[in-house]
Amino acid sequence: MTLPIFLIGARSCGKSTIGVALAQIRDSQFIDTDVALQAQAQMTVADIVEQEGWAGFRARETATLQRVASPGTVVATGGGIILSEENRQFMREKGIVIYLYAPASVLAQRLEAVPKATQRPTLTGKPISEEIGDVLAERDALYRETAHHIVDAAQPVENVIEAIQAALLLARAS
């Protein structure tokens, strides 16, 4: 029985893209917590936040994480999932946590290239480049504390997948 793999990191670090590719290679199921949460709520993240506030969204996020985490699953998490101590502990105890790290400049460039305003409301009201830098500075320590492995997500997808596979092999060997 293989543990679930949780991909964590800031918005646009590649969790969904990497997660889909990793799941295919590992012949596993892929689940994106944001997609699963929105499907169950039948609302967008922006609508949930507007109606229930960030606290309501975060409660739904925790419930979704716990519901979708099953053996052999690759789970792409929302960028703020690590704000909850309960979520950090759950992921560390129930699976293997991979932090897809990329510098704020790379994340901002990706977000500006493919804006998804309907998916996730701004956290700070600032321009993307400023917001990403602020949010990453605030959350980086939590991502690192939660992760079993840290992978450079600024590289091409194939390289990121190779680095994750190597980390997973090391984890299995130890």
Highest mean pLDDT (candidates 7-16, 48-57, 85-94): 85-94
Which pLDDT does position 115 carry in this prediction?
Answer: 60
Give per-residue pLDDT as tens, 56-72: 999 999 999 999 999 99
Which pLDDT does position 113 carry in this prediction?
Answer: 74
pTM beyond 0.95: the answer is: no
Q: What does the DSSP assignment read for 37-87?
A: HHHHHTS-HHHHHHHHHHHHHHHHHHHHHHHH--TTEEEEPPTTGGGSHHH
Superfamily holding 5-173: P-loop containing nucleotide triphosphate hydrolases (3.40.50.300)
Q: Where are the domains of the chain?
A: 5-173
Mean pLDDT across the stretch 83-100? 96
Whether 106 has a pLDDT exceeding 60, the answer reads: yes
3-state SS, residue 103: coil
